[in-house]
Amino acid sequence: MQKLKKKQFHTRIINSELTHDIRKRVLWPHITNGDYSIQPDDIESTFHLGTYCQNQIISIGTFIKETNEKFNCNTQYRLRAMATDKGHQTKGAGRNLLLTALDILKKKKIMMLWCDARLNAIPFYKAMGMKSLRKIYQIPNIGPHKTMYIYLDSIK
Ligand SMILES: CC(C)(COP(=O)(O)OP(=O)(O)OC[C@H]1O[C@@H](n2cnc3c(N)ncnc32)[C@H](O)[C@@H]1OP(=O)(O)O)[C@@H](O)C(=O)NCCC(=O)NCCS
């Protein structure tokens, strides 16, 4: 979890529209109406991160102030629509993005980050120090998921 961010990547806050291309190609190929936005995209407390490699966005994630009743914790954020472009996966871009998000959330005094994790993505979140709840549930059009989370005070 505490490995350093790789230098060839640079993560920064981006506009929600800049997430649409990777959302379309990597996450939601089933969408046919061309709308790759989600309702919380433009809420003031939401922020979007993009990880760049040579001026190209290769990884994205959207961070939403949303409480999950499964957790007894006041200040939570939810990660949605996290993805790395297919040709750039497993090279450290997702790590760079999530570490940047955790820094931002710590500065905002947020206590916990959670997400609905696709089963295929669980090894990534585990590698980042996140834990999972046991239950597996289906999300329509996408497949089985587990809830994963990390308390920010567990990060050194
Ligand atoms: C999950 C995803 C976002 C990870 O992004 P990434 O840029 O490939 O991840 P990184 O290269 O930064 O990997 C960080 C760590 O996770 C591990 N990891 C990533 N994907 C893994 C996998 N499928 N299996 C095992 N470990 C994995 C890496 O080995 C690395 O660990 P290490 O640094 O200890 O070696 C990316 O694979 C993806 O977009 N998948 C398809 C879309 C998706 O499922 N998104 C998640 C929706 S919940």
Distance 123 CA to ligand 1 centre (A): 7
Distance 27 CA to ligand 1 centre (A): 14
Q: Of ligand 1's atoms, which has the minimum distance to the CA of residue 59?
A: 7
Is 80 exceeded by the pLDDT of residue 81?
A: yes
pLDDT digits (tens, 9 = 90+) for 102-145: 999 999 999 999 999 999 999 999 999 999 999 999 999 999 99
Q: Of ligand 1's atoms, which has the minimum distance to the CA of residue 125?
A: 16
- Which residues does 122 contact at the CB level (< 8 Å), separation at least 6? 132, 146, 148
Long-range contacts of 103-106 (CB under 8 A, 24+ apart): 104/47, 104/63, 105/63, 105/77, 105/152, 106/152, 106/155
Query: Residue 90 and residue 59: Cα distance in Å, rounded?
Result: 11
* CB 9 near ligand 1, within 6 Å: no
Q: Which domains does the chain have, with CATH numbers?
A: 10-154 (3.40.630.30)
* CB 39 near ligand 1, within 6 Å: no
Helical segments of 4-155, H only: 20-22, 93-107, 122-127
pLDDT digits (tens, 9 = 90+) for 83-100: 999 999 999 999 999 999
